[in-house]
Amino acid sequence: MWYRSKYPEYEIRDKQKYLNENYPFDDVPELNDKRFCICCDTWIDVADYKVKIVLGEEYILCPNYPKCNGSVIDWCNEDYEGNINMDGVLINVSENGD
Ligand SMILES: [Zn+2]
């Protein structure tokens, strides 16, 4: 097994502040939010995100890096079944009628 990280891991002191300043989209998640990573098909804790510097650029990555190559772009609010994660509980929000 070779899961050693290719790039130096960047230590973030204030992870929420870092997200606020570097998250590439408008809906900045909170550290206690969960997101579904479509790269590793797993619900992840936002607070566990990793940051790597690749060629001078900082990337916010899936907590499962380096096993998962996903980044914030791969994080969804819903999984494939239409579930959202509320405080660790999956709730189905897909519209199947009443
Ligand atoms: Zn992932």
pLDDT digits (tens, 9 = 90+) for 83-94: 999 989 999 998
Q: pLDDT class for 1, splitting at 50, 70, 90?
A: very low
What's the rounded mean pLDDT across residues 7-23? 87
SS (H, E, C) the chain: CCCCCCCCECCCCCHHHHHHHHCCCCCCCCCCCEEEECCCCEEEEHHHCEEEEECCEEEEECCCCCCCCCEHHHEECECCCCEEEECCEEEECCCCCC
Instruction: Confirm if 7 and 59 have CB atoms less than 8 A apart.
Output: no
- Indicate whether 17 pLDDT > 80: yes
- Cα 33 to averaged position of ligand 1 atoms, centre (Å): 15
Stretch among 14-18, 60-64, 85-89 having the lowest mean pLDDT: 85-89
- Cα 96 to averaged position of ligand 1 atoms, centre (Å): 28
Strands 42-45, 83-86: parallel, antiparallel or unpaired by DSSP?
A: unpaired
- Indicate whether 3 pLDDT > 90: no
Stretch among 9-13, 24-28, 78-82, 87-91 having the lowest mean pLDDT: 9-13
Provide the 10 A C-beta neighbour count for residue 42.
17
pTM of the model: 0.84
Instruction: Confirm if 10 and 58 have CB atoms less than 8 A apart.
Output: yes
- Cα 38 to averaged position of ligand 1 atoms, centre (Å): 7
Q: pLDDT class for 47, splitting at 50, 70, 90?
A: very high
Give the closest residue to 60 by CA, choosing from 31, 25, 19: 19
